[in-house]
Structure 1
Amino acid sequence: MADADVREAVPSDAAEIARIQLTTWRTAFTELLPAAVLDGLDSAATEQEWRHALSDGPAAVLVAMEGSWIVGFCAAGPAPEAEVAAANGTLPADAATVALVSALLVEPRWGRRGHGGRLLGAMVERLAAGGATRGITWVPEANTASMAFFRSAGWAPDGTVRTLDAGGRPLRELRLSGPMELQFEER
C-alpha cells in the first residue's frame, strides 16, 4: 500500500469530503436509503455545509490520506445532550465528557485498507486528549459493515434506538458506545 496517514481537514478539503460522502452514500447505502433521497443529494450544498463545518463548526474533522489522495474522513466533537441522553431523556453521569462521532466514511474503492481504523484511532486520541472519556455514534441497524467495524474497535450497542424518516422510509439506528482506548480485533 502507498503511504497512508491521517491529518486535520482544512476548508479547502470541503469539496473532496463532500464528494466522498455523496459517492459513499450512493454506493454503499442503496439498501438503506430510498433512491429519491440519494438522487436528491446536492453536491454544492453538501460542499458548502462541509466548508462551514471546517471553518466554524464545533466538530473536529480528520481526513485519511493514501499518498496524495483524500480517501475518507471522520467528524467528531462533544456530544450534545440530546444525543447522549437515554431514551427517557435522562442524562448519564458522564454526559459532559461523552464525544459524538457524527461521521466516519471511507470511499468504497479505498475500503479494507485500514483507513477507517486509522481515522477512528486518531480521532479518539484527539478526543481523549480534550477530556472525552467515552464515545458514541449512531449506525443504521442494517449497516452490517459499520456495525462490525465499530464492534471490532470495542464499541457496542448501548440499548438506545432511534428511527429517522429517510424520505418516507423509516431508518432504524442503534447508538453504539465505547471506550477511548480502542482495541481492534481481527474481522
Structure 2
Amino acid sequence: MALFTSSDGATADVSVRPAVPGDEAAVTRVQTAAWRVAPALGDPVVDLVDDDAVRARWAEAVTAPPGPGFVVLVALAGAAVVGFTAVAPGQLLALEVDPGHRRRGHGSRLLSAAVDRLRSDGAEAVATWVLDGDAGRERFLAESGLGPDGQERTLAVGLDDLGVRSVVEHRWSALL
C-alpha cells in the first residue's frame, strides 16, 4: 500500500491489489459507471446490461481465471474499489476507473501493475482496444507509451427495440 503526501501535507491511502472474492460488485459498479460516459456507449446501451450476469462473470474471473496469466487487479482509495484492470497473456482486456475518481493516478497505478504482471509472466508486448472517439483514453495510453498499431475491429451492439449499432475499436500496443 502506498501513502502519498500532497504539497499541503494531506495524505491519501491509495493502492492496487489483486481482486478478491467480494470485489465483483464494486468492479461491476465501476465498469457500468465508466461505460455510461464512454463516447460510443452511453445510457441506451448500458441500460440493457444485466448487472447480475456481469457480476457473476467478474466473480468467476476473480476466483477461477481461465488460465495462467489472467488476473483482475483493483485500485483502492482507502478501502473503496475505485478502478480495475483485467489482464490476459500479452493483453490489457479492460482498464476502468470510476468517473468520480479519475485524474488521481488510479489509472496509471493500474496500468503500471498490469505491465509489471505481464513482464513477470514473460510478455514482451502489451495490446489493448480503444473505442473510436475515446480521446481521453487515447491521451492516457499515449502518455503511457502505447500507440495505435493500425488494427481495427467492428463490434455489433444489440439494442433490443433500438436495433443493432456498430462500434469500432482500434488496437493500441507497446513493447515492454
Normalised TM-score (structure 1): 0.81
SS in 2 for 1:12: coil
Question: Aligned with 1:49: secondary structure?
Answer: helix
Confirm or deny: 8 A CA contact 1:34 1:166 kept in the other structure. Answer: no
Matched, 1:137 2:147: no
- Could you tell me the TM-score, scaled by structure 2's length? 0.86
CA offsets 1:113-146 (integer angstroms, 9 cap, x no match): 0000000001101110110110000001211111
1:19 aligns with 2:34: no
Query: How many Å separate the matches in 1 of 2:97 and 2:28?
Result: 12
1:35 Cα shift?
4.0
- Which residue in the other structure is 1:81 paired with? none
- Contact kept? 1:72, 1:105, Cα under 8 Å: yes
How far 1:43 sits from its partner (Å)? 1.2
Is 2:97 the partner of 1:111? no
Aligned to 1:55: 63
Q: How does 1:1-187 map to 2 (within 5 A)?
A: 2-26=12-36, 28-29=37-38, 31-33=39-41, 35-58=43-66, 59-78=70-89, 99-167=90-158, 168-180=164-176
- Distance in 2, Cα, partners of 1:34 & 1:11: 28
Q: Distance in 1 between matches of 2:75 and 2:44?
A: 29
What is the one-letter code of the residue matched to 1:53?
A
Q: Deviations over 1:48-79 (max 9, x none)?
A: 0100111112321110011111100000111x
In the alignment of these two chains, the number of paired residues is 158
In structure 2, how many angstroms separate the alpha carbons of the residues matched to 1:36 and 1:24? 14
Deviation per CA, 1:13-40, whole angstroms, max 9, x where unpaired? 11111111112112x12x3126432111
Give me the whole-angstrom Cα distance separating, in 2, the residues matched to 1:152 and 1:117. Answer: 10
Whichever structure has more strand as a proportion of its residues is 2
Q: Percent identity?
A: 41
Mapped contact 1:161–1:174 kept (Cα < 8 A) = yes
Q: Take 2:127 and 2:94, find their aligned partners in 1: how far apart are those partners?
A: 11
Question: In the alignment, is the contact (CA less than 8 A) between 2:35 and 2:42 conserved in 1?
Answer: no
Task: Specify every segment of 5 or more residues in structure 2 that has no aligned partner in the other structure, as ranges.
Answer: 1-10, 159-163
Contact 1:33 1:166 (C-alpha < 8 Å) held by counterparts: no
Q: List structure 1 runs of 4+ shifted beyond 6 angstroms.
A: none
2:3 matched residue in structure 1: none
